């Protein structure tokens, strides 16, 4: 019984190894794999074990055999292009701006007879790797992807290279990895959006503006650039001690905790420009808990014009995020990429200009 289990383990490992080589594009469609004898000798396995692994991959549609010629990698592109399935992978699904984005994508794709396979990574690199590997196993015509921790280097770039090898078109939204900046993407002009928010605060007479930014995605990096640009343009000094950086893992705690610590240490703050509405809402709650009035004592701006902005007891001044429109635009662009293969390789780069929505959380300083 033990020997049987060990044998099963060996052919399963060999099957998984060959399958991964195919999925990652290291064995290409139409390419002949090594013979059973060669594989058995090279890997110190019995020919029976090798034959069983290959047989399973043939049954699963990854390999095919030709009598007298050998075993070859099967071209799965035809089954992909006729599947009418599109993958959509975002960092989150059910919270914040994402339902609107997904709604926009679904509106366009369902109208054209496509179905969506939806995945969310929770902005976790390991989950992204897991789902990308799963996606490479599926018959999908194309992908719309929000990258996970897009400002952090990741080994997951290998999976995107595999998508390229299999000629599966994909489009990034919200951000793009620096190493894949030549790939098609649709993003908000985050730098300009934060510039509008901080300039608005400066024009209202604020002098001590704290900025809160997310460190592990490119949106946070770009929004920080907008903060810096507005200060420089107004000839106001940039103070690194007035900037709070947070990460995905501490996003619900650190922004407001750092604001509380700064105020208790006596730091002067008359306005806070927040990375997004979620952070702004948390800061508002912390200031209220401390007996500090918004906007009378401290003005606050958010970003994304989400439900947090309108449900906050003091409605938040925020930068617009055309959620449904971005989703629709992404879906239409991907459909064009599917219909015109050369278009998919043209490095499409679309940037949406946001607007500032002025509400009650920012007032003029006397």
CB-count burial class (<10 Å; 0-12, 13-18, 19+) for 12? middle
| Residue located via tokens 């095919």 | 64
What pLDDT score was predicted for residue 224?
98
pLDDT at 138 over 50: yes
pLDDT at 129 over 80: yes
Token couple for 312: 């906050």
Q: Pick from 24, 43, 75: which residue ends a domain?
A: 75
What pLDDT score was predicted for residue 345?
64
**One domain for residues 262 and 176:** no
**One domain for residues 335 and 302:** no
**One domain for residues 150 and 265:** no
The answer to whether residues 357 and 305 touch, using CB atoms and an 8 Å cutoff, is: yes
| Residue located via tokens 């290409």 | 28
Q: Report if residue 235 sits inside a domain.
A: yes
Looking at the DSSP assignment, which residues form a beta bridge with residue 244? 212
**One domain for residues 163 and 17:** no
Q: Pick from 57, 75, 93: which residue ends a domain?
A: 75
pLDDT at 1 over 50: no
Instruction: Calculate the alpha carbon distances from 221 to 225, 226, 228, 302, 309 in Å.
Output: 6, 9, 11, 16, 22
Distance CA 327, CA 321 (A): 11
Confidence of residue 93 (pLDDT cuts 50, 70, 90): confident
Confidence of residue 346 (pLDDT cuts 50, 70, 90): low
Note down the domain range covering 24: 2-75
Phi (first) and psi of residue 320, to 5 degrees: -65, 150
State the pTM of this model. 0.87
What pLDDT score was predicted for residue 222?
98
Q: Report if residue 358 sits inside a domain.
A: no
**One domain for residues 86 and 184:** yes
pLDDT at 97 over 80: yes
**One domain for residues 201 and 317:** yes
Q: Report if residue 24 sits inside a domain.
A: yes
Region label for 25, one of left (φ > 0), alpha (ψ between -120 and 50) or beta (otherwise): left
Split into its structural domains, the chain has a count of 3
Distance CA 33, CA 56 (A): 15
3-state SS, 142-211, equals EEEECCCCCCCCCCCHHHHHHHHHCCCCEEEECCCCHHHCCCCEEEECHHHHHHHHHHHHHHCCCCCEEE
Q: Report if residue 254 sits inside a domain.
A: yes
CATH number, domain of 242, equals 3.40.50.2300
Q: Report if residue 357 sits inside a domain.
A: no
**One domain for residues 309 and 200:** yes
Distance CA 180, CA 329 (A): 20
Q: Report if residue 251 sits inside a domain.
A: yes
**One domain for residues 125 and 7:** no
**One domain for residues 291 and 247:** yes
Q: Report if residue 91 sits inside a domain.
A: yes
**One domain for residues 302 and 312:** yes
Q: Report if residue 362 sits inside a domain.
A: no
Helices (H), the chain: 2-23, 36-43, 47-59, 77-81, 98-111, 125-137, 157-165, 190-203, 218-233, 254-264, 277-289, 307-311, 323-339, 341-344
Which range has the worst mean pLDDT, 38-52, 140-154, 243-257, 319-333?
A: 38-52
Distance CA 306, CA 97 (A): 6
**One domain for residues 317 and 231:** yes
**One domain for residues 85 and 127:** yes
């Amino acid at each position: 019984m033990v020997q049987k289990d060990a044998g099963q383990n060996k052919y399963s490992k060999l099957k998984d190894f060959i399958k991964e080589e195919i999925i990652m594009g290291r064995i290409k469609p139409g390419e002949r794999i090594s013979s059973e004898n060669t594989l058995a000798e090279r890997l110190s396995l019995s020919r029976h074990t090798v034959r069983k692994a290959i047989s399973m991959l043939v049954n699963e549609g990854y390999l095919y055999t030709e009598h007298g010629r050998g075993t070859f990698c099967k071209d799965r592109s035809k089954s992909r292009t006729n599947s009418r399935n599109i993958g959509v992978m975002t960092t989150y699904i059910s919270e914040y701006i994402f339902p609107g984005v997904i709604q926009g994508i679904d509106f366009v794709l369902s109208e054209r007879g496509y179905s969506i396979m939806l995945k969310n990574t929770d902005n976790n690199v390991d989950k992204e790797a897991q789902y990308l590997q799963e996606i490479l196993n599926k018959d999908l015509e194309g992908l719309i992807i929000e990258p996970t921790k897009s400002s952090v280097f990741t080994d997951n770039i290998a999976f995107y290279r595999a998508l390229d090898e299999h000629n599966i078109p994909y489009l990034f939204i919200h951000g793009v990895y620096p190493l894949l900046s030549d790939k098609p993407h649709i993003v908000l002009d985050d730098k300009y959006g934060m510039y509008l928010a901080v300039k608005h605060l400066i024009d209202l007479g604020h002098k001590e503006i704290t900025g809160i930014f997310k460190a592990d995605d490119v949106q946070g990096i770009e929004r920080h650039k907008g903060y810096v640009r507005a200060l420089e343009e107004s000839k106001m000094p940039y103070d690194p001690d007035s900037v709070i950086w947070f990460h995905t893992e501490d996003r619900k705690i650190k922004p407001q905790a750092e604001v509380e610590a700064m105020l208790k240490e006596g730091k002067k703050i008359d306005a806070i420009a927040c990375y997004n509405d979620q952070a702004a809402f948390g800061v508002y709650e912390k200031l209220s808990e401390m007996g500090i009035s918004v906007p009378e004592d401290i003005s606050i701006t958010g970003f994304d014009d989400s439900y947090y902005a309108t449900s906050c007891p003091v409605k938040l001044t925020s930068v617009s995020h055309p959620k449904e429109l971005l989703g629709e635009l992404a879906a239409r662009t991907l459909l064009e990429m599917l219909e015109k293969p050369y278009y998919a390789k043209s490095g499409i780069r679309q940037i949406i200009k946001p607007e500032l929505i002025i509400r009650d959380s920012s007032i003029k300083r006397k």
